Chains A and B, each alone.
Chain A
């Protein structure tokens, strides 16, 4: 099984969630995160008198654990829905998962995903 972590624009979360749900991937976890990539941040102002640059920006991180064979489809969905073409679209990471257990029933492995 694979864990897919994606850091995406917050405004794209709804589109990504909906698209994943239509393909049967309902379970996921979201976090509000801050970070810096190659996007040069945004310029804010203080009392209209001076400007300052903020380069640690807010994004949303989603995590989901899926079967190995579903991982490519999930990556494609996230890329399709979260991309705007501009710097700051985010990144996807794929990690191996040793095991998955459903707390309520004790099911393990693929059945618990």
Chain B
């Protein structure tokens, strides 16, 4: 039987659509972050996200897809798919077996792109653009590709252990959060951090960015079903539900603790919910999604509070939202997974072993991503230098790194 007969057109339509949805999340993230920094640095933040699209789109095609998905060992894939050799219209026998393999590949490319973009929020407003480019390529190659292989590739050691990660809570959010944590310790704080107020320059951009992220996340989670059917529909439903629950939770917490509901906080809350539901989206039902969303709102709010109290500089709270949100999501998957939804039971449905498995995945990913990121940053610090000079930071990265202004008023 020709492999082409295995293609299901509804699945192809959905996975290609989902790939486009996830693509828009990177510019969406760019504006989500861009609106939060000071006006003199907005172009540099936007540019970080766009540069990643330029770099990783090519990295994935040349070697990323191969290292993540080509048959290899438990730790990393092989070189069989370098330059997408053999990756074409014919479906894979292992991954997304009802769509052309290059459709699966391009869908995964969008995940590989957005993950380093998340980290950019941690060291916004102080990293040199050339160091950033080298960092991105090293990180994608040595952190993202291996972890993606561990969790999603056939033969990957975490997948073989039974770790559940439907759409990337571990592969995307924990790795980014751990990298952000490493950045907090490896990179100096922004000049004036703690003593001067660094006000968001454009909260409407943050809101618009949140909207694009929420919209795109339907492709991120529901597309991870890799088929157009009940699993995708479930993921879509729980994604929306968790985002709403988390946004509401953060809003109410800000109202209670600060006296007024925070607009920026509600946005962060919704994103935290989307992060947390990501690994669980194929395995839990809508009521669990509400619990997961509330948990995300609570834990991520507290994480941001903690980071603030410790006076650590994670410019845009990547650790608090993605690191902690992704960790909660991975653990929650082990608690709320329901075989009726996704084929595996978690703690609440009589299978406590799944929770243990999830914890192993969480711990291994934190340890690896944190350590590798720290090492990469330190090496770059010694060779290229990480941060801009004080005068460049004063004048702003838009002018000093790019020679352009965001808003030229004649």
Chain A residues with a Cβ under 8 A of chain B: 9, 11, 14, 42-45, 51, 84
**A96–chain B nearest beta-carbon distance, Å:** 33
Q: Are B395 and A44 in contact (CB under 8 A)?
A: no
B404 on interface, CB distance cutoff 8 Å: yes
**A19–chain B nearest beta-carbon distance, Å:** 13
**Chain B residues, CB < 8 A from A14:** 192, 196
Q: Are B196 and A44 in contact (CB under 8 A)?
A: no
Q: In which size bucket is the chain B interface?
A: 10 to 19
Q: Are B404 and A44 in contact (CB under 8 A)?
A: yes
Given the known interface contacts A11-B394, A11-B395, the answer about A45 and B403 at a Cβ–Cβ threshold of 8 Å is: yes
14 further interface pairs, Cβ-Cβ under 8 Å (given A42-B399, A45-B402): A9-B394, A11-B394, A11-B395, A14-B192, A14-B196, A43-B403, A44-B399, A44-B403, A44-B404, A44-B405, A45-B403, A45-B404, A51-B403, A84-B391
Given the complex of chains A and B, what is the CA–CA distance between A51 and B399 in angstroms?
13
List CB contacts (< 8 Å) of B374-408 with chain A: 391, 394-395, 399, 402-405
Given the complex of chains A and B, what is the CA–CA distance between A84 and B395 in angstroms?
13
Given the complex of chains A and B, what is the CA–CA distance between A51 and B404 in angstroms?
10
**A15–chain B nearest beta-carbon distance, Å:** 9
Given the complex of chains A and B, what is the CA–CA distance between A86 and B404 in angstroms?
22
Given the complex of chains A and B, what is the CA–CA distance between A4 and B391 in angstroms?
27
**Chain A residues, CB < 8 A from B192:** 14
**Chain A residues, CB < 8 A from B395:** 11
Closest to B192 in A: A14
Given the complex of chains A and B, what is the CA–CA distance between A26 and B391 in angstroms?
28
Closest to A51 in B: B403
- Of A9, A44, A51, A84, which is in contact with the most chain B CB atoms at under 10 Å from its CB? A44
**B335–chain A nearest beta-carbon distance, Å:** 47
**Chain B residues, CB < 8 A from A11:** 394-395
Given the complex of chains A and B, what is the CA–CA distance between A99 and B323 in angstroms?
59
**B149–chain A nearest beta-carbon distance, Å:** 37
Closest to B396 in A: A11
**Chain B residues, CB < 8 A from A45:** 402-404
